[in-house]
Amino acid sequence: MASGGSAAGGGPRIPSSLPGRPGFDPAVLARGRLLLALAGDARGRDAADEARTLALRAAADFEHGVRLSGRHSAPSAVRCRALLDLAEARAVAAGDTGHPGVLEALEQAVEAVRDQGPDLRVPALRRLAEAHTARYRHTADPAQLVAADGHFTEAEALVGRDDPERAELLAGHGEVLVARAERGDGLPVATDAVRVLRSALALTPGSDPHLADRQLLFGRALRHHHGAGGTPTDLHEAEWVLARAARDAPADRTAALAWLERGDVLLTLADRTGAPEWLDRAAESYHHAVRRADRAGEPLLAARAHHQRGVVLERTAGPEHALESYRAAWTLWQRAGAAQGPQAQSAQSTYERMTALGGTG
């Protein structure tokens, strides 16, 4: 990069070094941070190309600053902050917080302050854990979840019980543990998920905007704990907390997910006990899920809820009413292109039930 280049269009010209000053020069990092701030502003204006260009220029400055910090033995805190900034710049440039280059920078940031106090170690460990979680969403590699689990655990050990950051750390860790439980990693992992998310909820005030999301996660953890060999009380507690999440969630998508998850819990309770009232409550829960998914503009969520309601109605109201729900689900699957996408298996299940009930015409 030219040392006198403009930050963005007609912006100020910032020198890459201070004249006559030998050794490590923080000016290059200052310029990178300005470019990164400008990239953030461009993202806020939905100017993706501009944001990417600025982020790439910021990343080049941070890479140079990191090299200088190593060459001139800059303090480890300076090196760590530069690496954290480099990770952010690479994430913006790639549009991916789990990009391999982001992981590389964050791993180096953690290593740079390995023997330091928690002030920088905690945010570095947390961001590395989150990057592994994001990487898992792309690769489905369980090793990414295991790595994220370990980094969250290490960060939690450095944070005091009353630290306001602890609840957020626990919630992120709980999300990773739930994902591991969903993969069938066994009762110990599911138990950890319940423990961690119970602690997160205990530290989350009723006014917190993330409360419903954490309640939803906790309900999912309880459900998987039961499935991994837990007790029937898991299901009853899950039903209660999911109902709270569904009713109190400010976001329609969170509410739809909570109603859907609660319906699945109620269906499991019905199978375990044989009590018909659980089925009636499950059908009602799926109906609420459909309504909130529609309001959220989430056709795939609505399709799942319609399908599950059809499953219940087959057992309670008869095939004619069930067929209506399956047809509604199939219409949404097709409209969203799910019959050929990642949701193809779910869409196929709907089609098979329609066929069985004679309703494909």
pLDDT for position 339 = 67
CB 312 within 8 A of CB 325: no
Q: pLDDT truncated to tens, each residue of the chain (361 aa)?
A: 333 333 334 333 333 333 334 456 789 999 999 999 999 999 999 999 999 999 999 999 999 999 988 887 888 999 999 999 999 999 999 999 999 999 999 999 999 999 888 999 999 999 999 999 999 999 999 999 999 999 999 999 999 988 889 999 999 999 999 999 999 999 999 999 999 999 999 999 999 999 999 999 999 999 999 999 999 999 999 999 999 999 999 999 999 999 999 999 999 999 988 888 999 999 999 999 999 999 999 999 999 999 999 999 999 999 999 999 999 999 999 988 876 667 888 999 999 999 998 866 5
| Residues ≥6 apart with Cβ < 8 Å to 199 | 170
In this prediction, residue 112 carries a pLDDT of 93
Nearest to 322 by CA among 291, 350, 361: 350
Q: How many Å separate Cα 65 from the centre of its chain? A: 31
Q: Are 350 and 327 in contact (CB under 8 A)?
A: no
Q: What is the pLDDT of residue 24?
A: 64
Q: What is the DSSP letter of 208?
A: -
Residue whose structure tokens are 């319609």: 306
Phi-psi bin for 22: left (phi > 0), alpha (psi -120 to 50), beta?
beta
- Neighbour tally for 153: CB within 10 Å: 17
Residues 120 and 79 sit within 8 Å (Cβ to Cβ): no
Task: Report residue 85 as tokens.
Answer: 């900034």
- pLDDT score recorded for residue 26: 83
77 to 29, 131, 257: CA distances (angstroms): 13, 21, 42
Which residue, 197, 177, 175, 127, is CA-closest to 155? 127
List every span in the chain annotated with CATH 1.25.40.10. 251-361
The reported pLDDT for the residue numbered 74 is 83
Specify the pLDDT at position 7. 38
Task: List the CATH code of the domain at 251-361.
Answer: 1.25.40.10
d(C-alpha 299, C-alpha 296), whole Å: 9
Encoded tokens for 170: 């626990």
- Tally of CB atoms within 10 A around 96: 17
Phi and psi at residue 6, in whole multiples of 5°?
-70, 140
The answer to whether the CB of 289 falls within 8 A of the CB of 263 is: yes
- From residue 62, alpha-carbon distances to 6, 36, 83 in Å are 17, 10, 7
Question: Residues 106, 131: contact at Cβ < 8 Å?
Answer: yes
Would you state the structure tokens that stand for residue 69, as one six-digit string?
A: 């910090």
Q: How far is CA 271 from the centre of its chain?
A: 31
Do residues 89 and 58 touch, judged by C-beta distance below 8 A? yes
Contacts of 271 (CB under 8 A, 6+ apart): none
Q: Write the DSSP assignment of 50-93 as a string of letters.
A: HHHHHHHHHHHHHHHHHHHHHHTT--HHHHHHHHHHHHHHHHHH
CB 342 within 8 A of CB 294: no
Please choose, from the candidates 129, 133, 164, 170, the residue with its C-alpha nearest in 3D space to the C-alpha of residue 150: 129
Residue 116: what pLDDT? 86
The DSSP code sequence of 284-312 is: HHHHHHHHHHHHHT-HHHHHHHHHHHHHH
Architecture of domain 119-136+143-157+165-203+210-233 in this structure: Alpha Horseshoe (1.25)
